[in-house]
Amino acid sequence: MLFPFAYTVPINPPSASPMLTKDEVWSGLIKKARRAQDYIPIIDHCEIVSEDKDGLVRDVNIKPGFFMPEGLVREEVKWVEKVRLDYTIKGDSPRSIVNLLSEGGGEGELYLTFIFEFNKDVEPGSQEEADTWALYHAGAKKSVEHTVKIIREKKAQELL
């Protein structure tokens, strides 16, 4: 069964400090693609297999006990400059993740959306399906919020 879901957060809400520019967020997202373990708590290892101007291929190890299947997976990451990173995971449990950076109408108004598509073998209409939706939604929310938090911390540490 396919589980598509998305979650969006404002990058610069009134309480945010320091404020982030689009270039800084983009830099953070590229660093996240290259060193996933610094940004994603469920990943404990990331090795770049190849990289070119349009993206990279990496091997990541996903820790057990999270909403994603665990173990070593190969991900292809393609990017559209300052707009989107597309992560594709092949294999027994194919899935895709999009990191979308967008602008709003106000000065410095930026949004980060993560879009997920995971496959999981569950019975439609079952309690397991409902539990999976709840788990994936909570994981998506935490993932995008944590990414913005880490990018903001890296800016404060002058690491962008």
Which range of residues forms the domain containing residue 110? 2-156
Q: What is the domain-level CATH number for residue 97? A: 3.30.530.20
Report pLDDT for 67: 61
pTM (global) more than 0.85: yes
Residue 151, class by beta-carbon neighbours within 10 Å (0-12 exposed, 13-18 middle, 19+ buried)?
buried
Domains: count for the chain: 1
Report pLDDT for 142: 92
For residue range 75-102, what is the model confidence (pLDDT) as tens digits?
Answer: 999 999 999 999 998 776 668 999 999 9
DSSP string spanning 114-144?
EEEEEE----TTSHHHHHHHHHHHHHHHHHH
CA distance 1 to 109: 36
